[in-house]
Every structure is written in C-alpha cells, then in structure tokens.
Amino acid sequence: MAMLGKRRTPKPATKKASAPRRSQQAASDDRGVDILRLAHDGRGVARDAAGKTLFVDRALPGEWVEIAVHKSRQRFDEAHVREVLTASPERVTPACAHFGVCGGCDLQHQTLDAQRHHKQQVLVEQLARQGLTLDEAPALLSSDGLGYRRRARLGVKVDAEGRIHLGFRARGSHHLIDMGMCPVLVPALEALLAPLREQLALLDAPRQVGHLELIASDGGVCLVVRQLRAQPDDAQRWQAFAAVHALSLGWLLGRESPRLEWLTETPDLHYKVVLNGPTLAGAERENGQENVSEAGRELLLGFAPGDFLQVNASVNQRLVDTALEWLAPNAGERVLDCFAGVGNFSLALAAHTGKVTGVEGNPLMVERLAANARRNDLSGVSARQADLSREDQVRALLGESDWDLVVLDPPREGAEALSRQLARSGVARILYVSCDPATLARDAAHLAAGGYRLARSAVADMFAQTAHLEAVVLFEHSEIPASDETTAQMSKE
C-alpha cells in the first residue's frame, strides 16, 4: 500500500554478530564474497574463488555477502545479494519498499554521503583514464536525497486478471513494478500514485493508456495521458479527475505520431531560476535602457511536455549559481551557450552580460528559448539553430564572433565535434556540463590538447539514490596554443 505524504528515515544497518569476518586474503569461499569497491554503475565489485570478476547488485565496499549469480558471461558474472553476512557502516535501510526490484534507484541502501563520495571518485577516475588530473577534489552540489524529482513517466499495464499496474520498469527488464510509493518524487507527485491507480480502474479502456507523465512545474502540476486510441467517455473521466486534483491535463493521442491536445486550459508550465549573485548590470531592455537588477530576481523559463527539464530544481539552481560564479561574466562579454535548451544558462548569463547566443538543433527549442528571452525582457539573447554534431556548422558558428565565454550542456553522447573546434578557438573560459562523465572526459582530452586546463570541477547530485551524476568542469585557456603536430593529429581524427 502507498504511504502517501510520509518518509522513512534511513537508519544505519546493524552488523551481524553471528558472521565473523574472514581473512582479507581470500576473495571468496563457497558461502560469501568480499566486495572490493563500487563499479561506476553502483554495483559492488568482487572476485570469485577462480578470480573471475563479479558485479553484485545492492552490495557495498567492505562487505562480506552471500550472492546468487543470475547472469554468467565470458569475462564476468552478474549477481545479487542473497544475504549480507557482514554489513558496511555505509549501509542504511532503504526509504522505499520497492527498492531492489524497481529499476529507478540503485543506491538507496547506501548513505547519501557515501553515494556522493562515490560519484566524485567516478568523475576523477573517468578523467584519469584520459590522462587528465584535477588540482583538487570535485566540489559537491547537492540537496535533499528524497522528494526532489519533479518529473516522472509511469508505465501502465492491465494484466490477464484485469489488475492495474502503475509504476516504473524493473531493473534490466520490461516487467512493470506496481508502485504504491516513490519517495524520490516531489510530494505533490507521489501523492497522486494511489488516486491514479484508482482512476485507471474506472476507465472503459485502461489498456489504451500507454503511460502517464507527471510534471510538477512552478505553475502547477500537469498530467499527460498517453492515449493509444481515442476514448471520449474516458477523456471526460480524466477531465473530472483533473478538476478534483487541480491538475492541467494533456491528452497525447495516437500510436505512430501522437499529437498533444489540452483537455483543460493550456497551462503555463514553467520553472524559476533565481539570480543569487551580486547586483547585475549590462542587460538591455527593448527600450534601450540599461537593466540593473538586484540579486534575487526570478527568471521564469517556460517549457512544454517533452522538452528537456532538469528533474531536480534545487540542484539545477546550484548549477546555475556555479556557472555564474565560475564564468564571472562581465557586461558586454559575448557568450555562446551550446545545447541551450529552454535557456537554463542563457537567460542568467544574459542578465549579466547582455549578449548571449543560445544554440539548439531542434527548431522548437530555438523558438522556446526566444520566447523565454522575451518573457524575461532580455533582448540581448539571440536564439540560433545549428547541428552541433557537424564540424562544418560548428566552425562557422565559432567563426562568427570572438567569443569570450562558452557553455556546453550536451546530451549523454557529449560534444566531440564542438570540443575539437573549441580546442583551437582560444576562448578564455569554457564551462562544460555533462550527464555522462565518460564522454565529458573524452571531450576534455580534446580541449586539453588545445591548451586548456581543468581549472575547477564539481559533481552535481542531480539524481540522488541513483548511480547517475551530473558533472560540471571549468576549462581555462593556458595561453599556450596547441602545437602544429597536435593540430594536425586532431584534424586527422
């Protein structure tokens, strides 16, 4: 059953006195294995008696655990914990009853401090694989470990007996976990789980519902129903549900090319970014008057269902604060914001410099960025479309101006073409925000070859309780240009 509005406080696990600690010299025996460390994906790493590597779900470094192998491969086996024989001091009781089955979270069994230290180490290790080192440990940008996720897509299934299942997929499976709770969701979304399940049971055709998307915007909560085939009576039932729960309601209709229709008044979906820095100057209003704005000004960024949205509002605010602090933009400096999205960084930077060019590949996002600039009275923002995976378009873009600052916030595949060209650009400071430290490290190697040094770094714990991390790195030009040999080699690549 759902425990709506409640949170389980993680408690330190008690060590089992009945299981004496074995000698560290033996990696495993017929009952248990020693967990040596965490892999980057959050699984414990061990070796069996024959020396074969094991990746163990829900195991922590320093533990002695009894395991069961559920998948055997040539080079390694995958396993899960059957019993913790000797527990780590980092082990806590998971906050969610579905942890270990649901694929949404990886690390609820570990303290938040230990999770975050692991993520800092992942960033350091990924950079080291490219021969790159940091002068100091990555800083940490974090917030609460529960109740932070403001967006979720919930699968819907009706089984052979007619029972409704609503939730996330199981780890490594298409099987849907029927969830009564999800403590990582913001409370306004978690509180809807039980009512949504009840609502689905009232529909004439619940099997025609593909999934439900929930969004907690600063303009209110929105529900989008993925409807495979039109059901007019069910549409009316959803409208009644939305009225009772004060929701905006979208209807994503069709199988192949679904179209979004609003069954309530079109909502003003937006989120806020607060300018927490010192007095801002340099942005120009449309009437030509200089805009001097005190710290605390709120920027409102509109978005639509389907747009990219950072799921953790508090950590996103810290990301924007960090970008402004590290880049230290001055009035009149020219800023290029690549993969700008709805303007998460562009608008805040424009409030300091007055001149920001935001670039996106999707024309709809270009329109959204331009609309957000108008909404916030920032006429110095220019929204552009370009394919940032194509080096010819990147070269043309970089050649249009003597950019002072560049921001990159690419998808998981990174920004290799852009990084190659930026390595030759001589731009003073480059801020790279990444949701995949491996592709960040790859791209950082290109920048380092072009004379850039890793000046500052941080891990943003955007996805607490999971192994996923957001990283941010500031590159500063060392004023030593890449050698001709380096440039020639990069051209060949």
Helices (H), 130-251: 187-190, 193-202, 232-245
Q: pLDDT class for 373, splitting at 50, 70, 90?
A: very high
User: Average pLDDT, stretch 199-221?
Assistant: 97
Which residues participate in catalysis according to the annotation?
A: 435
Judging by DSSP bridges, how do beta strands 356-360 and 290-293 pair with one another? unpaired
Annotated binding site for [4Fe-4S] cluster, which residues? 96, 102, 105, 182
Output phi, psi for 146, to 5 deg: -130, 160
Helix (H, G, I), strand (E, B) or coil at 334: coil
Q: Mean of the pLDDT values across residues 98-127?
A: 97
Confidence check: pLDDT of 7 > 80: no
pLDDT of residue 30: 52
Mean pLDDT, residues 65-77 taken together: 94
Q: What is the per-residue pLDDT across 387-423, written as a single tens digit (0 to 9) for each?
A: 999 999 999 999 998 999 999 999 999 999 999 999 9
Mean residue pLDDT across the chain: 89
Amino acid at 66: E
pLDDT at 291 over 80: no
Instruction: Give pLDDT, residue 172.
Output: 79
State the pLDDT at residue 255. 85
User: Which residue type, as a one-letter code, is found at position 27?
Assistant: A
Regarding predicted confidence, which is higher, 188 or 24? 188
Task: Report the binding-site residues for S-adenosyl-L-methionine.
Answer: 310, 339, 344, 360, 387, 409
Q: Which residue has the tokens 């960025």?
A: 369
pLDDT by residue (tens digit) across 460-493? 999 999 999 999 999 999 874 443 433 444 444 4
CA separation for the pair 416, 116 (Å, rounded) = 27
Annotated binding site: 96, 102, 105, 182, 310, 339, 344, 360, 387, 409
For residue 9, name the pLDDT band (cuts at 50, 70, 90): very low
What is the domain class of 119-144+269-492 according to CATH? alpha beta
Element (H, E) at 443: helix 437-449
Question: Mean pLDDT over residues 27-35, rounded?
Answer: 72
Kindly tell me if the per-residue pLDDT of 3 is higher than 50.
no
Out of 21-35, 61-75, 169-183, 289-303, least confident range? 21-35
Q: Helix, strand or coil for residue 301?
A: strand
State percent of the chain over pLDDT 70: 87
Tell how strand 164-167 and strand 259-262 pair up: unpaired
Q: What is the pLDDT of residue 277?
A: 63
pLDDT surpassing 60 at residue 34 = yes
**Residues 85-121: b if buried by 16+ CB within 10 A, e if exposed:** bbbbebbbebbbbbbbbbbbbbbbbbbbebbbbbbbb
Q: Which fold has domain 151-217+220-262?
A: OB fold (Dihydrolipoamide Acetyltransferase, E2P) (2.40.50)
Averaged pLDDT for residues 348-363: 95
Element (H, E) at 280: strand 280-284
- pLDDT at residue 278, rounded to an integer: 52
Q: Is 481 helix (H, G, I), strand (E, B) or coil?
A: coil
Q: What tokens appear for 364 in the block?
A: 């709809």
pLDDT at 173: 85
Mean pLDDT of 441-468: 97
- Which CA distances in Å does 78 have to 34, 70, 73, 74, 88? 15, 6, 8, 11, 21
Beta bridge partners of 139: 458
Domain ranges of the chain: 119-144+269-492, 151-217+220-262
Q: How confident is the model at residue 257 (pLDDT cuts 50, 70, 90)?
A: confident
Q: CB neighbours (10 Å) of residue 361? A: 16
Beta strands 209-217; 297-302: pairing state: unpaired
Q: Whole-angstrom Cα distance, residue 155 to residue 176?
A: 7
Mean pLDDT across 454-462: 98
Predicted pLDDT of residue 288: 43
